[in-house]
Chains A and B, each alone.
Chain A
């Protein structure tokens, strides 16, 4: 799968200070800056969370319909599991209605987390440890 491509910028690294004093120094400084910029980009690209199934998202993004179904299913699943767990806890422990209330709210939280994860805005489960190192 394609990793999220780092933003490709036009090559601006050529020494442009030819008219000024000390063109060699300017060239060295520009190269140094260019090298630092590349390092920074590499670090940022490594830290950015990978969006799930980026290939699929790209090809279905033409309609937006696949994306909508994907995100809504993630959200609804979180809420449904929260409600189900709350109902089961109430049923077993007899704490009605507090288990349902608390776990339904936590289910909403988990649903939002699912949506953010599947949109690639938050690191995936289990990946949040040492983000620089991949698999």
Chain B
């Protein structure tokens, strides 16, 4: 059981709640989502509360994350996109802090469950569709009609473009989920080799140095992946929002 690499993803009901036959239990996933929001909010609030003109180290970390997301959004979606800044910034901080919290031993990784990442992706694509129609009306549909296509091919191309558009939330969520899941399983498998090998005696203990070194290296890689996936998620959100703001560019 100790070496089961899947065990870390099991949902445990901490406080069973049932309302009208539906399961609303407070699970470890809920707890870590609350912890993610609390950690991100507390970090941003506490580090910026002094409001130093010359920022302290932690305050400059907060300011850097603000600048990072705002320049990303302005590059991708122009200055009209800045009204979505709170949305993109919250998404970025949530994914980033959830990924980083998951790297602590014995912690639960929220983003390694596809239902969580899919809900986030649906939120993004729902915003794109609703805002796209609200702002552009029917001309939002021009997004699906590429220019310069012969008339007879238009229905086929439009169908392909629609499928391609609908596949966006799936690829967005699968990418984040698969990266976190694969990384944590790899980490756990290599760490499991250390205990199995060292049970073999003195030669095994000497040999277990290799998987231990690998585990350390993979941990470093996982930190990179945690940042990178949060960044990719936010960048793709910005690009999709740009399609809603300027369709047919």
- Residues of A at under 8 Å CB distance from B? 1, 52-53, 55-56, 59-60, 63, 66, 69-70, 73-74, 76-78, 80-82, 85, 103, 106-107, 109-111, 113-114, 117, 124-130, 133, 135
Contact = CB atoms under 8 A, between A and B. Distances in A.
B117 to A, nearest CB: 11
Contact of A125 (B143, B171, B221, B235): B143
B10 interface: no
Contact of B75 (A1, A66, A106, A110): A1
26 contacts: A52-B236, A53-B232, A55-B231, A60-B224, A66-B179, A66-B225, A69-B178, A69-B179, A70-B175, A73-B174, A73-B178, A74-B167, A76-B171, A77-B170, A77-B174, A106-B156, A106-B159, A107-B167, A111-B167, A114-B171, A125-B165, A125-B243, A126-B143, A126-B243, A126-B247, A126-B249
A55 B160 CA distance: 28
B55 interface: no
A106 B175 CA distance: 22
B148 interface: yes
Contacts of A73: 170-171, 174-175, 178
B164 A125 contact: yes
A90 B79 CA distance: 44
A43 B31 CA distance: 54
Contacts of B166: 81, 85
A129 B170 contact: no
Best-surrounded residue of B160, B221, B235 (most CB of chain A within 10 A)? B160
Interface in B213-249: 221, 224-225, 228, 231-232, 235-236, 239, 242-243, 246-249
Contact of B167 (A63, A69, A80, A129): A80
Contacts of A66: 179, 225, 228
Interface size class of chain B, counting residues whose CB lies under 8 Å from the partner chain = 35 or more
Interface string B106-121: 0000000000000000
B163 interface: yes
B168 interface: yes
B72 interface: yes
B167 A78 contact: yes
A133 B178 CA distance: 36
B49 interface: no
Nearest first, the 7 closest Cβ-Cβ pairs linking A and B are A77-B171, A77-B167, A77-B170, A110-B163, A110-B164, A81-B167, A73-B174
A1 B68 CA distance: 11
Contacts of B204: none
Given A55-B231, A78-B164, 16 more contacts: A56-B228, A59-B228, A63-B221, A66-B228, A70-B175, A76-B174, A78-B171, A82-B163, A106-B159, A107-B163, A111-B167, A124-B239, A125-B144, A126-B243, A128-B148, A133-B249
